[in-house]
Amino acid sequence: MGDNVTGADAGQVTVIRGADLAGAGRGDLLLRDGLVAEVGSVRAPKGAAVVDADGLVALPGLVDLHTHLREPGREDAETVRSGSAAAAAGGFTAVLAMANTSPVTDTAEAAERVLDLGRAAGLVDVQPVGAVTKGLAGEELAELGLMARSRAAVRVFSDDGRCVHDARLMRRALEYVKAFDGVVSQHAQDPRLADGQACCHEGELSGRLGLPGWPGVAEETIVARDVMLARHTGSRVHVAHVSTAGSVEVVRWAKAQGISVTAEVTPHHLMLTTDLLTDYDPVYKVNPPLRPQEDVEALRAALADGTVDAVATDHAPHARHDKEHAFAEAAFGMLGLEQALSVVATVMVQPGLMTWADVAAAMSTRPARIAGLTGQGRPLEPGEPANLVLVDPAATATVDRADSRSLSRNNPWHGRELTGQVRATYLRGTQTHEHGQTQQQGESA
């Protein structure tokens, strides 16, 4: 088969032979009728597809809390189908599609449209994120209740790309979503401390390069405010793309107080540093910006000890005409779906900071729980949905942006050698991605 397939017939029975079951020991998996039917030593039924998984790690399908699919409105950069293909290639079986599309996902009808586009693509579960405010304008709450009650059953709300900076509006949003156990995901950026032009971590480098500074305190003050609002309302707040050691300290303190706060970190904030901006390469322009090495180290430690709950890609595809500008004028954002697991394997697993069971928790179990996706992030046990990814933990590869399933090419990993390669992804037992030839037919009765 090729590197990107839409999977076998839904009635296909698959036996995955000899995989490391994410810390639970080596075993076989029998996938049938969309479920994990058997685990352990499995006899392959006649006609079953048999996958030799010797040396591979089986993880629950990955869940991304933070994906920009651009459709509707910017299909030149990404579509739900192309983004879904990129997600499946990265080992994901569910993604949360952010609301900053055109039109904005701020109504029940808009949310249902994104849901239907994801179902038509059929490669991952696409769950719409609803906007917190109408048009992302930060002035009036969007139709939170109607989106929650729609077919899309929206539970995560975010104005990502913009901060809900009005404290009273943020309080109202937290109070509103509490009624249906929703969560507000905040893009923490105080516009008075870091405005829309801010694009480089504030410090000696931003001054030397002549780029508008984006100080860490602009993130940290919003995180501190929002955890106090969450305590006051008894509601849940989620910190998107946490990027500084100071924010980590706030989240750690809040969790110790019993406040309902969760946080995510991106792959690029786990590996890349602000030093990459010295050549003014716009592929490295992202919001929040890349930070110094000391922040990167703090984020790795926080992910390892569970202070930061999840890895989320903030996959942000852009057409060439939006990204290929002088640094200050270029669009914010970079690709993330296809290399996220490899980055985590390289910077967290290989150095011994995390085990593969820890990766399953940070990239599948906890993200699914935060988002309220009951059919995702489940253990590889009998009766559970057969959503899983097979990873070769020893394989290394040099990233080539031309190989991306995304329509865009703003890939910050281009030319880097990363460890840990996705070999196959299954959504409810149907293969949605395969890298290399792994299958043969079973012959036993």
Binding site for Zn(2+), by residue number, is 66, 68, 160, 187, 241, 314
- Active site includes 314? yes
Binding site, by residue number, is 66, 68-70, 100, 160, 187, 241, 287, 314, 318, 332-333
> Pick from 153, 87, 178: which is nearest to 433 by CA?
87
Radius of gyration of the chain (CA): 21
Interatomic CA distance for residues 68 and 143, integer angstroms:
21
Binding site for substrate, by residue number, is 68-70, 100, 287, 318, 332-333
375 contacts 357 by C-beta, under 8 angstroms: no
With b meaning 16 or more CB within 10 Å and e meaning fewer, what string describes 19-54?
Answer: bbbbeeeebbbbbbebbbbbbeebebbeebbbbebe
Annotated catalytic residue within 106, 314, 358, 392: 314
Interatomic CA distance for residues 270 and 347, integer angstroms:
7
Q: Which two tokens stand for residue 65?
A: 């809390």
The residue count for the chain: 445
165 contacts 153 by C-beta, under 8 angstroms: no
Q: Which two tokens stand for residue 162?
A: 């913009």
> Pick from 88, 335, 113: which is nearest to 130 by CA?
113
CA distances from 168 to 133, 143, 190, 235 (A): 13, 17, 15, 14
Interatomic CA distance for residues 265 and 248, integer angstroms:
10
Interatomic CA distance for residues 388 and 429, integer angstroms:
8
Catalytic residue ranges:
314
